A and B are shown apart, each in its own frame.
Chain A
Amino acid sequence: MPEYRKYTDEELILMFQSDDVEAFNEIVFRYKNKVVNFLYRYTGDRDEAEDLAQDTFIKVFRSKHLYKEIAKFSTWFYTIAVNTAKTNAKKKSRMSTISISDFDPENEKDFDLKDTNLTPEENANAGIENYYIQQAINSLDEDFRNIIILRDIQDLDYEEIVTITGLPMGTVKSRINRGREKLKKLLIDIYPYKET
């Protein structure tokens, strides 16, 4: 494993394309925390975030041949993660309006009641303020939330966000600005926001 740390992401995915499974393990090692963090901020649920992160890695595993060296690997990877998160959000919205006759015992997990209480681990990692910030992020529209997380939490470039979302640069910038404004308002309403 230590041998693979010297390679770039792009080199690793190329090695994995030539059936080097150790390269994939290195990619998982590098991106598992990033993607879990992104998806946790996107969904607001730790378990769901981990499941979606695993789905993302599985998609990478199965569609490794689709990556081309045109873009950065991180961009391609986050595109997959964003799409996975979006499809999951669509599924969830569909489930909320679904009738009981469509109940599928295999997907019983989707009907589980969400535990809104903080776990001890979450309490340890983040304080109450962080909790409310997360609540504010969750209450943002999907279009804004997505871009705000990518820019302000994952700290990606504008260009990367443009390629991931497929939106024009102007739209991305305006959405970031409007998203921050909304977030600020939400934080003031929900939590007594203190200007730093």
Chain B
Amino acid sequence: MKNEEEHIDVREKLLKLPRVKARDGFENELLRRINLLETQTVKSTAKKGSFWESLFGRKSLAWSVPAMGLAVIVFVGVYTIFLNNGGNEMVNVNKSVSNEMPQKNAAPNNEPLVTMNDIFPTPGKDITNDLEIGRTPKTEKKSDIKTGLNETYFDQSPNPIVPSKTNVIDSKMESTIYEKAEDVGRTGKSIKKAEEKEVGNMNNGVLKEEKKSDESSRSTDTEKKKTSPMIKDVEKVKSEKGNNDVKDKIETRVKEETKIKDDTRVKEDAKKKEEARKKEDARKKEEAKKKEEAKKKEELEKLKEKIKDN
């Protein structure tokens, strides 16, 4: 308080200083500044909005929402259709190409294979392809090339074996024999007839061929080689028929045994039934005796009572 009293005159002077008032337009100016700041802050917050907000947030770009949605749906649809159909087609194309490959490999001018990698090249593949341009293909390496007496051939691409005419005939004959033999085996009794027919036909063919071979002065050894597979087939058919007979015999034996067993079972059952009947008869007799005895006793008792009454 001492300090206050010391300089009280200065304090009074300061307190007496006229009060400065705010100007008339102070509040309006303040409002204007506040509105300005608010708009600036709104702009800054709008700038800070995310990518999606800037895309779809504006009212002027309201049409972009359904447009973008449709575009996405169409893209997804096309993509899925491509995956379902296009992918399979590509695989089929590759399969067909791979099926054609052996013949193309056999041909001297090989065309390049169409693979998925060719259609959708992997990154960096072009560089490796460029590097491989100067190189010779693997099949042309000296180590892979084998030389015969008068010609060269590639080991990795063997020519397909073209069947000779005789082999074709043999294969046809074999197929007919097997087919017919199977059919005959099913019918049972007509086996022998079929065998005779087939063997006869075959012998006729062989004879014809022998005649031809005699005429063309070829050796009989080669003809034997040609006929030998047919004979083997006939023997096989015979052995199969024999096996069928054995099976039939076994089946008949089994049937006989089962019949015998069934008869014995029936007899045993009949015996058991007779024994059961006898037992039942004996029981019934005993019961009847017991009833008679009980009746007699009752009659006796009644008589005794009458006697007593009398």
Residues of A within 8 A of B (CB): 25, 28-29, 32-33, 36-37, 40-41, 46, 49-50, 53-54, 57-58, 61-62, 125-126, 130, 133-134, 148, 152-153, 155, 173, 176-177, 180-181, 183-184, 187, 195-196
Complex CA distance for A183 and B3, rounded to whole angstroms: 14
**Chain B: minimal CB distance from A42 (Å):** 11
CB neighbours of A29 from chain B (8 A): 27
Residues of B within 8 A of A (CB): 3, 6-7, 9-15, 17-23, 26-27, 29-30, 33-34, 37
B10 contacts A54, CB within 8 Å? no
- 9 A–B contacts, CB within 8 A, in A order: A25-B27, A28-B27, A41-B17, A50-B23, A53-B22, A125-B18, A126-B18, A176-B3, A180-B10
B26 contacts A180, CB within 8 Å? no
**Chain B: minimal CB distance from A50 (Å):** 6
CB neighbours of A177 from chain B (8 A): 3, 6-7
Closest to A180 in B: B7
B17 contacts A133, CB within 8 Å? yes
Known: A58-B33, A58-B34. Contact between A36 and B22, CB under 8 A? yes
B33 contacts A54, CB within 8 Å? yes
Complex CA distance for A177 and B10, rounded to whole angstroms: 10
Name the contact of B20 in the complex, choosing from A28, A37, A57, A155 (C-beta under 8 A): A37
B30 contacts A58, CB within 8 Å? yes
A54 contacts B29, CB within 8 Å? yes
Closest to A177 in B: B3
Known: A36-B21, A58-B37, A125-B20. Contact between A50 and B26, CB under 8 A? yes
Known: A32-B27, A50-B23. Contact between A155 and B15, CB under 8 A? yes
Given contacts A152-B10, A153-B17, A184-B7, 7 further A-B contacts (CB under 8 A): A32-B22, A54-B33, A58-B37, A173-B3, A177-B3, A187-B10, A196-B9
A183 contacts B10, CB within 8 Å? yes
**Chain B: minimal CB distance from A115 (Å):** 16
**Chain B: minimal CB distance from A173 (Å):** 6
CB neighbours of A181 from chain B (8 A): 7
Known: A50-B26, A57-B30. Contact between A37 and B10, CB under 8 A? no
Closest to B27 in A: A28
Closest to A195 in B: B9
Q: Is the interface of B mostly helix, strand, loop or mixed?
A: helix
CB neighbours of A49 from chain B (8 A): 20
A53 contacts B26, CB within 8 Å? yes
Closest 4 CB pairs of A and B: A180-B7, A152-B14, A177-B3, A32-B22
Name the contact of A148 in the complex, choosing from B12, B14, B19, B29 (C-beta under 8 A): B14
B23 contacts A133, CB within 8 Å? no
A46 contacts B20, CB within 8 Å? yes
Name the contact of A133 in the complex, choosing from B9, B14, B19, B22 (C-beta under 8 A): B14
Which residue, A29, A53, A148, A153, has most C-beta atoms of chain B within 10 A? Answer: A153
Complex CA distance for A126 and B14, rounded to whole angstroms: 12
CB neighbours of B9 from chain A (8 A): 195-196
A180 contacts B11, CB within 8 Å? yes
Complex CA distance for A133 and B19, rounded to whole angstroms: 13
CB neighbours of A41 from chain B (8 A): 17, 20
Complex CA distance for A54 and B3, rounded to whole angstroms: 35
CB neighbours of A184 from chain B (8 A): 7, 10
**Chain A: minimal CB distance from B43 (Å):** 16
Closest to A56 in B: B30
Complex CA distance for A25 and B13, rounded to whole angstroms: 33
Complex CA distance for A176 and B11, rounded to whole angstroms: 10
Which residue, B14, B15, B19, B29, has most C-beta atoms of chain A within 10 A? Answer: B14
**Chain B: minimal CB distance from A134 (Å):** 8
CB neighbours of A61 from chain B (8 A): 34
Closest to B26 in A: A32
Complex CA distance for A158 and B170, rounded to whole angstroms: 129
Closest to A32 in B: B22
CB neighbours of B37 from chain A (8 A): 58, 62
**Chain A: minimal CB distance from B30 (Å):** 5
Complex CA distance for A195 and B8, rounded to whole angstroms: 11
Closest to B21 in A: A33
**Chain B: minimal CB distance from A176 (Å):** 7
Name the contact of A40 in the complex, choosing from B12, B20, B27, B29 (C-beta under 8 A): B20
B12 contacts A196, CB within 8 Å? yes
